Amino acid sequence: MTVFDDDGYTVAESARPAFAVLNDSPVGEGGNEDLLESTVTAGNLAELILASRAAAPFTVAIDAGWGMGKSSLLRRLDAELGKDPAVSTVWFNAWTSERADAVEGLIKSVLLSFDRNVLRRAVRGTLRRKHVVGAVRAVSLVASSFFGLGAAVDAMWRTLAVDAKARNEIKAVVHEMAQNWLAKGSSGRGRLLVVFIDDLDRCSDQRIFEVCETIKLYLDVPGVVFVLACDQAVLWQAVGRDRVADGVRYLEKIIQVSYPIPPPSSILARNLVDGYLLRSGTAHLFDDAMKKLLIERTGRNPRRIKRLINSFVLEHHLGRIGGDLGTENLVKIILLRHFYPEFYNMVVLSPEGDLAQRFLDYHDFREYVRHGTRPDPGRRARLFAVTGVKPPANETKAELTEALEEVVQELPVSFPELAKDREFVALLRSLPMATAQWRRLRAPLVADSAPYPPTSVQEPQRTDRFFGLRVLWIDDESEGPAYLMNTLRAGGARVEAARNREEAVEILPRLRPNALVSDIRREDDPQAGFTDLRYLREQGLYQGPAFFYTGQVTPARLAQAEQLGADGVTTDPGEVLAWLTRIAERL
SS3 155: helix
pTM of structure: 0.66
**Structural domain boundaries in the chain:** 40-260, 355-432, 470-586
191 close to 181: Cβ distance less than 8 angstroms: yes
User: For residue 245, is pLDDT > 80?
Assistant: yes
Q: Which of 497, 502, 500, 467 is nearest to 479 (CA)?
A: 497
**What does the pLDDT read at residue 166?**
58
State the first-to-last Cα distance of the chain, in angstroms, to the nearest integer: 65
Q: How many CB atoms lie within 10 A of CB 146?
A: 9
SS3 375: coil
77-81, 140-144, 208-212, 545-549: lowest mean pLDDT where?
140-144
134-138, 367-371, 517-521, 534-538: lowest mean pLDDT where?
134-138
| 10 membership: H or E segment, kind and range | strand 10-11
**What does the pLDDT read at residue 333?**
83
User: For residue 315, is pLDDT > 60?
Assistant: yes
Pairing of strands 192-198, 470-474: unpaired
Tell me if the bond preceding 526 is cis, omega within 30° of 0.
no
User: For residue 288, is pLDDT > 60?
Assistant: yes
**What does the pLDDT read at residue 447?**
33
Q: How many CB atoms lie within 10 A of CB 272?
A: 21
Taking residues 274-288, report their average pLDDT: 88
Q: How far apart are CA 366 and CA 196, in angstroms?
A: 56
Residues 6+ apart with CB under 8 A from 159: 126, 132, 133, 137, 140, 141, 166
10-14, 29-33, 147-151, 528-532: lowest mean pLDDT where?
10-14
Q: How far apart are CA 536 and CA 568, in angstroms?
A: 17
Q: How far apart are CA 345 and CA 336, in angstroms?
A: 10
Pairing of strands 515-518, 470-474: parallel
**What does the pLDDT read at residue 100?**
60
Counting Cα atoms < 13 Å in the Cβ hemisphere of 573 gives 18
199 close to 96: Cβ distance less than 8 angstroms: yes
User: For residue 55, is pLDDT > 50?
Assistant: yes
Q: Across 13-17, 36-40, 376-380, 498-502, which has the greatest mean pLDDT? A: 498-502
**What does the pLDDT read at residue 548?**
95
| 584 membership: H or E segment, kind and range | helix 573-586
SS3 506: helix
User: For residue 267, is pLDDT > 80?
Assistant: yes
**What does the pLDDT read at residue 437?**
61
Residue-wise over 90-126: b if at least 16 C-beta within 10 A, else e? Answer: bebbbeebeeeebbbbbbbbbbebbeeebbebbbeeb
More confident residue, 505 or 373: 505
Instruction: Supply the mean pLDDT for the chain.
Output: 80
Q: How far apart are CA 74 and CA 128, in angstroms?
A: 39
Q: How far apart are CA 350 and CA 571, in angstroms?
A: 8
Q: How far apart are CA 213 and CA 102, in angstroms?
A: 10
67 close to 199: Cβ distance less than 8 angstroms: no
Options 3.30.1490, 3.30.450, 3.40.50, 3.90.550; which CATH number does 40-260 get? 3.40.50
Taking residues 262-280, report their average pLDDT: 89
Chain-centroid distance, C-alpha 481:
27
200 close to 228: Cβ distance less than 8 angstroms: yes
More confident residue, 377 or 514: 514
Chain-centroid distance, C-alpha 483:
25
Q: How many CB atoms lie within 10 A of CB 246?
A: 14
What one-character DSSP code corresponds to residue 146?
T
**What does the pLDDT read at residue 164?**
55
Residues 6+ apart with CB under 8 A from 242: none
Q: How far apart are CA 314 and CA 309, in angstroms?
A: 9
User: For residue 237, is pLDDT > 60?
Assistant: yes
Please, which pLDDT band fits residue 187 given cuts at 50, 70 and 90?
A: low
What one-character DSSP code corresponds to residue 201?
G
**What does the pLDDT read at residue 72?**
87
**What does the pLDDT read at residue 530?**
96
Q: Which of 173, 193, 172, 196 is nearest to 184 (CA)?
A: 193
Per residue in 524-534, pLDDT (tens digit) is: 788 999 999 99
SS3 569: strand
User: For residue 331, is pLDDT > 60?
Assistant: yes
413-417-418 Cα angle (round to 5):
100
Please, which pLDDT band fits residue 156 given cuts at 50, 70 and 90?
A: low
Per residue in 457-471, pLDDT (tens digit) is: 445 555 678 888 999
Taking residues 151-174, report their average pLDDT: 62
Q: How many CB atoms lie within 10 A of CB 276?
A: 22
The CA R_g of the chain, rounded to the nearest whole Å, is 32
Taking residues 168-185, report their average pLDDT: 75
Per residue in 108-132, pLDDT (tens digit) is: 777 777 776 776 676 666 655 544 4
Q: How many CB atoms lie within 10 A of CB 368?
A: 17
Q: How far apart are CA 119 and CA 156, in angstroms?
A: 10
**What does the pLDDT read at residue 308?**
86
350 close to 571: Cβ distance less than 8 angstroms: yes
User: For residue 171, is pLDDT > 80?
Assistant: no
492 close to 466: Cβ distance less than 8 angstroms: yes
Q: How far apart are CA 356 and CA 362, in angstroms?
A: 10
Positive or negative CA dihedral for 371, 374, 376, 378?
A: positive
**What does the pLDDT read at residue 138?**
40
Please, which pLDDT band fits residue 141 given cuts at 50, 70 and 90?
A: very low
Please, which pLDDT band fits residue 446 given cuts at 50, 70 and 90?
A: very low
**What does the pLDDT read at residue 129?**
55
Please, which pLDDT band fits residue 338 given cuts at 50, 70 and 90?
A: confident
Q: Which of 553, 507, 190 is nearest to 352 (CA)?
A: 553
Pairing of strands 470-474, 494-498: parallel
Please, which pLDDT band fits residue 182 given cuts at 50, 70 and 90?
A: confident
Q: Which of 285, 279, 318, 320 is nearest to 302 (CA)?
A: 279
Share of the chain above pLDDT 70, in %: 77
More confident residue, 518 or 338: 518
**What does the pLDDT read at residue 265?**
87
Q: How far apart are CA 518 and CA 496, in angstroms?
A: 12
Per residue in 463-496, pLDDT (tens digit) is: 678 888 999 999 987 655 788 888 899 889 999 9
User: For residue 146, is pLDDT > 60?
Assistant: no
Q: Which of 559, 493, 565, 494 is nearest to 536 (CA)?
A: 565
Longest dimension (CA), the chain: 104
**What does the pLDDT read at residue 31?**
59
Question: What architecture (CATH level 2) is domain 470-586?
Answer: 3-Layer(aba) Sandwich (3.40)
Backbone φ and ψ for 319, nearest 5 degrees, come out as: 75, 35
**What does the pLDDT read at residue 453?**
40
**What does the pLDDT read at residue 436?**
59
Tell me if the bond preceding 391 is cis, omega within 30° of 0.
no
19-23, 116-120, 335-339, 410-414: lowest mean pLDDT where?
116-120
